[in-house]
């Protein structure tokens, strides 16, 4: 299994249907503000993974998730019931993360390097931890070298765990076009990382 395939298998996609999301949103719009907690529980973990891979550390990702969820709550009255909620929510997330990344990218990279070194030093299996961190860093650095459209597609599908159809809606293309982007992204990553293509990797995770 490729590194991306392993990442995808570890990140379960949000398991809600459009109908169940719309039902919860209708309750919120009717005045049940506590119902929003259900959407937070449902999509919070996937949002965190998406923000984490772009921003580089847990604290910044947590702040970004709170920002996205607050903005989504305030904008919920403009959400059209029946449309896919994940696509709408992650479009907000993509915009906010882009803004945060541009503003804080260098500082966050330095912060993450320091805190990662400290975590590795404290762990009893420091050698294994260092190897895991190196592999993760190599993959994140390689993804960072992708064109923006391919990078966003990889982050939405592999790290957030969104299904192809929902991720495609976020970036504004059809499912087949989105799959093509993933294929191009994997091929570029293979070249960057120096790994051989996998014969059965074309449809991995889809």
- pLDDT, one tens digit per residue, over 26-77 is 999 999 988 999 999 999 999 998 888 877 778 888 999 999 999 999 999 9
At 44 the pLDDT is 93
User: What does the block give as tokens for 32?
Assistant: 């049940």
Asked whether residue 30 is assigned to any structural domain, the reply reads yes
Asked whether residue 204 is assigned to any structural domain, the reply reads no
Asked whether residue 136 is assigned to any structural domain, the reply reads yes
Asked whether residue 135 is assigned to any structural domain, the reply reads yes
Nearest residue to 35 (alpha-carbon basis) of 49, 23, 19: 23
Asked whether residue 201 is assigned to any structural domain, the reply reads no
Mean pLDDT for each consecutive 10-residue tract of the chain (206 residues)?
A: 53 55 91 90 91 82 92 91 88 83 50 46 51 62 85 86 87 92 90 63 45
Asked whether residue 187 is assigned to any structural domain, the reply reads yes
Asked if 33 and 79 touch (Cβ cutoff 8 Å), the reply is: no
Show the domain range for 156. 3-9+18-196
Counted domains in the chain: 1
CATH code, domain with 98: 1.10.1740.10
């Amino acid at each position: 299994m490729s590194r991306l395939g392993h990442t995808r298998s570890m990140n379960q996609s949000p398991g809600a249907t459009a109908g169940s999301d719309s039902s919860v949103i209708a309750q919120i719009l009717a005045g049940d503000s506590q119902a929003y907690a259900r959407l937070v529980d449902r999509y919070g973990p996937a949002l965190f993974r998406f923000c984490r891979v772009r921003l580089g550390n847990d604290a910044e990702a947590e702040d970004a998730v709170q920002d996205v969820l607050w903005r989504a709550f305030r904008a919920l009255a403009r959400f059209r019931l029946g449309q896919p909620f994940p696509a709408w929510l992650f479009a907000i997330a993509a915009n906010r993360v882009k803004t945060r990344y541009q503003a804080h990218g260098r500082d966050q990279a330095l912060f993450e390097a320091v805190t990662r070194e400290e975590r590795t030093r404290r762990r009893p299996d420091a050698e294994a931890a260092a190897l895991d961190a190196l592999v993760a860093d190599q993959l994140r650095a390689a993804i960072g070298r992708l064109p923006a459209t391919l990078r966003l597609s990889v982050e939405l599908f592999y790290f957030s765990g969104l299904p192809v159809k929902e991720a495609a809606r976020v970036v504004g293309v059809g499912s087949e076009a989105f799959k093509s982007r993933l294929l191009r992204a994997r091929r570029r990553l293979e070249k960057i990382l120096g790994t051989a293509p996998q014969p059965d990797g074309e449809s991995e995770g889809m």
